[in-house]
Structure 1
């Protein structure tokens, strides 16, 4: 007798690594872990990022007395802990004195301007309120995939005070918890010491990164930054390295070898002349530029009251204005990270499309070196890209209508142990036959 007929339901393949279905970092499922804690009426304890020295400084590179550190839940630090007080702001935090992660916090400052991106990184389904189980989760984009990172609520303190990023409002904890989640991804807090802004900007957005050297670029950088700001891009900048040591404060207030957030661009009229300004934020939450257009600059006296009220602030909060000329002189690089590079074109009608390719260099087979190695150069991974003709709306725009970005995927868990290899790409024109 033949078997009964069975209707087979087609299998729908769920694409993981997206914002809707992120990969579970270290195989930890936030919803399942939280549900289990609520049922058991207990607080979550993260065994994958334990509350001990291995999560802070496993190789003892930081100048910290690890014996003095106590991991405390926010409720043990203050009586009324909140994840967010009022709303997320760039003025909510200041960098801790033990960890050189200004590159990360400068990126956080840029992140606070974009509510939709902030909601992606810090999902809204969590608080210290009802059904609190001491568990949080954050999402980062890592090398083409979104990951969901679970942490418990214990934070490293000395004498009851946070030792890394600190909130300007004592009972607000989103900055410290976000920093902890990123430290977990990096391997430890110490693994966050020293870095480049573009790394965190990409991890927050999964977007496209552009870097400009203000003193060397041929483009009108202020106009480009102005369009990027309107397009809700994240922007940051880095000062020139000093000859002696990092974090040397110059007489004009700029910190050498330091990452800053670009928080705005604007124009003001001074003595009937238009002045192009850039607003910059120091993640220390103090220490400002003291030259022209700084908080106490007399140049503001020659600006209308309306423009003064819009721009000028006397608060010692680490944020300041400076002219584009002074910005060019004092900052070595400007980083812009966006979900789409549409702002590169002056027409709002232009839109870009993107494609991602994955490949690798393998010694002896596909690692052909640079153009100096003519015999083996051809063995490098190759990709052919067709550039379509520009739409009528975009006609007359910049001819450089292709943007290529190369990212190196890390294999090791601890960020400080990763080898950053010298890699590059070459672009060639291929004539159609």
Structure 2
């Protein structure tokens, strides 16, 4: 059976088609239903305690508190901390809170940006929650997590020492939305400790489900100021970070900035100073204190050189963590600028032209679809491929020659819930133009294509980040996008997002099922004829000249495939499935003709197996499996190939002859409905019925169920 995560991916895909996972209809995180739980608590008149994120030391995690301090932690509800708690007091502001003991400045900086966008804030933080009407200690928040929105339920027990909150805390001790929001995100990450260290981009994307654009401030684009101004005017969230020092400590520099620290970009302003235009950037420290003390800081005399109106509008001489600095100093002391937006129209200022979004989930699987970067010419072609057709721009989207019109983002999905256990791979992508001689090509582009064609665009470098993106200019035509890890044979899931000004048509380029006849020569001369097969059959059959699963098991293991079996032979269950698939007479047994047909197939598949086993190990590696499937005359999508490997492969990733024969028998039955074959057994027709009404990759959900089903061969 495939791992549970594979099944969950399929279930999630089906739910998305039914509308689940959207911001208006989010999925229930850990299958906890907020409304049902609240109704239960109100009826029973009890206060909710979350068993999935319990108020204990496991939810705090290890490493951020000394063992002696961890032993002093007491989880208290807000009503036990202050007499009259409130969810929100006098609106939501970045000045409501300050950072606690966990190093999650990246998360709090993102909350600071979130407070500027009320619509987005309301999606993440349901503001109607309170401690008055129908209070039962139950709250919920919504986050975008790797392709879908999830609704996260928590209880309101918060970790304290001596009655004080140890993590994020509000300036007004009666306000608790920041502490509860932090707890909900800690639950998503695995624990409070799992929130330690990160970049604002991660939380900005999780708050919006938008596109992340990262700008390297050491080499900024010439129109950086214009981009920041447009981003500030649009519904974009912006964060940034300072260079890490010699250690991981957040050292405060003489200029007041903190090393290795995240900040929020809270505004941009153009002022006149001494008859010159000055571009100013406003930033906020999520500590709630500690500010820049250079030019244009709160105490800088340069504020006396601007108009009284600008000074009154901008200057606030308070130690609240917010300050102004010149754009040049911003680029000098900060490493990168993260902008997260739902639509990247701020990049060129053309708000009339609407960007179109395509969203695809995929997976690299070692041995089948994880070919590594272009340094691996023999395997690069096996990576997932996405074919994109870019149309001419509409009249309102007219652009200058060479102006960038497409944004490609690649995000890798974690395979573990606990954030600190996730190991990101070095990822990137390449974009190839499809030449005329390949326009009619169907299915995966071969290795020869990539040896003769160079990328027209690609991510700048392979980085071990959660996501990489590239903004590019593509003229109308057809293109191939190939996402990959840097090294081959690295397994991971990913999300590919394509935003384009022009109308685009995108599809996965791995090829679906296409029936092709197996060449008779593949079977070779096996020295047996049908009459000798019938003679052997009669020696094992019952008085009705039929064999059941146990008799078939002996025939296969002892007479037909003797000496070739590496795993002890076919099991009884596998033979029962064979009988069910080949039993066209629906008797529960195989008659002579059904047995002869099965024998022919088994010998043919044995020959294919032998030819494909180039390593001569008696098993197929996952890359050899791909060749064996092709040799059998069938075409299969990458996703199907991945699931075959998971379903039929051993723990070492190899396929035995028995598993290969079982796989192809099942696979052959999937082909027969497409051919209109009426000889399919009742069991096969029933289990494969979703495939018969669809063709090629459109039959994917039904085919997946057959390949991974526990009753498969």
Task: Specify if TM > 0.5.
Answer: yes
Question: 2-side partners of 1:373 and 1:354: how far apart?
Answer: 31
In the other structure, the counterpart of 2:405 is 401
| Residue pairs, 1:345-360, within 5 angstroms | 345-360=348-363
In the other structure, the counterpart of 1:309 is 312
Residue 195, structure 1, aligned to residue 198, structure 2: yes
Counterpart selection for 1:148 from 142, 146, 151: 151
Cα offset, 1:421, TM superposition: 1.2
SS at match of 1:280: strand
Write the deviation string for residues 278-299 of structure 1: whole angstroms up to 9, x where unpaired. 0000000011000000011000
In the other structure, the counterpart of 1:90 is 94
Counterpart selection for 2:76 from 72, 93, 107: 72
Q: TM-score, normalised by structure 1?
A: 0.94
Question: 1-side partners of 2:349 and 2:236: how far apart?
Answer: 15
Q: 1:332/1:60 Cα in 2 relative to 1: closer, same or farther (>3 Å)?
A: closer
Residue 35, structure 1, aligned to residue 39, structure 2: yes
Question: 2-side partners of 1:215 and 1:394: how far apart?
Answer: 31
Q: Select the structure with the greater relative contact order (CA < 8 A; seq sep ≥ 6).
A: 1
Aligned partners of 2:64 and 2:102 also within 8 Å: no
Write the deviation string for residues 113-142 of structure 1: whole angstroms up to 9, x where unpaired. 110101100113311111111100000000
Write the deviation string for residues 385-426 of structure 1: whole angstroms up to 9, x where unpaired. 222222333323562211111111112111111111111111
Residue 226, structure 1, aligned to residue 207, structure 2: no
In the other structure, the counterpart of 1:208 is 211
Aligned partners of 1:23 and 1:147 also within 8 Å: yes
In the other structure, the counterpart of 2:382 is 379
In the other structure, the counterpart of 1:296 is 299
Counterpart selection for 1:24 from 25, 28, 37: 28
| Residue pairs, 1:95-134, within 5 angstroms | 95-96=99-100, 98-134=101-137
Query: Paired residues, what number?
Result: 419
Cα offset, 1:215, TM superposition: 2.0
Aligned partners of 1:347 and 1:393 also within 8 Å: no
Q: 1:219/1:380 Cα in 2 relative to 1: closer, same or farther (>3 Å)?
A: farther
| Residue pairs, 1:231-310, within 5 angstroms | 231-310=234-313
In the other structure, the counterpart of 1:45 is 49
Aligned partners of 1:62 and 1:190 also within 8 Å: no
SS at match of 1:117: helix
Question: 2-side partners of 1:310 and 1:392: how far apart?
Answer: 40
Aligned partners of 1:237 and 1:332 also within 8 Å: yes
SS at match of 2:187: helix
Residue 370, structure 1, aligned to residue 343, structure 2: no
Question: 2-side partners of 1:91 and 1:61: how far apart?
Answer: 25
Q: Which of the two has higher C-alpha Rg?
A: 2
Write the deviation string for residues 203-243 of structure 1: whole angstroms up to 9, x where unpaired. 10000000001121233111101101111200000001112
Cα offset, 1:61, TM superposition: 4.9
Unaligned runs of 5+ in 2: 1-16, 440-713
Write the deviation string for residues 84-140 of structure 1: whole angstroms up to 9, x where unpaired. 0011001010001x2100111111110111101011001133111111111000000
Query: Greater helix percent: which structure?
Result: 2
Deviates further, 384-393 or 263-272: 384-393
In the other structure, the counterpart of 1:15 is 19
Aligned partners of 1:253 and 1:288 also within 8 Å: yes
In the other structure, the counterpart of 2:703 is none
SS at match of 1:356: strand
Cα offset, 1:15, TM superposition: 1.6
Question: 2-side partners of 1:200 and 1:339: how far apart?
Answer: 14
Q: 1:14/1:357 Cα in 2 relative to 1: closer, same or farther (>3 Å)?
A: closer
SS at match of 1:403: strand
Aligned partners of 1:235 and 1:261 also within 8 Å: yes
Q: Structure 1 runs of 4+ off > 4 angstroms?
A: none
Question: 2-side partners of 1:94 and 1:247: how far apart?
Answer: 15
SS at match of 1:80: coil
Q: TM-score, normalised by structure 2?
A: 0.58
Aligned partners of 1:53 and 1:66 also within 8 Å: yes
Aligned partners of 2:364 and 2:370 also within 8 Å: yes
SS at match of 2:429: coil
SS at match of 1:141: strand
Question: 2-side partners of 1:389 and 1:240: how far apart?
Answer: 43
Aligned partners of 1:280 and 1:320 also within 8 Å: yes
SS at match of 1:288: coil
In the other structure, the counterpart of 1:412 is 416
Question: 2-side partners of 1:261 and 1:297: how far apart?
Answer: 21
Aligned partners of 1:94 and 1:284 also within 8 Å: yes
Residue 338, structure 1, aligned to residue 341, structure 2: yes
Question: 2-side partners of 1:298 and 1:388: how far apart?
Answer: 55
Deviates further, 244-253 or 388-397: 388-397
Cα offset, 1:152, TM superposition: 0.4
Deviates further, 217-226 or 177-186: 217-226
SS at match of 1:33: helix
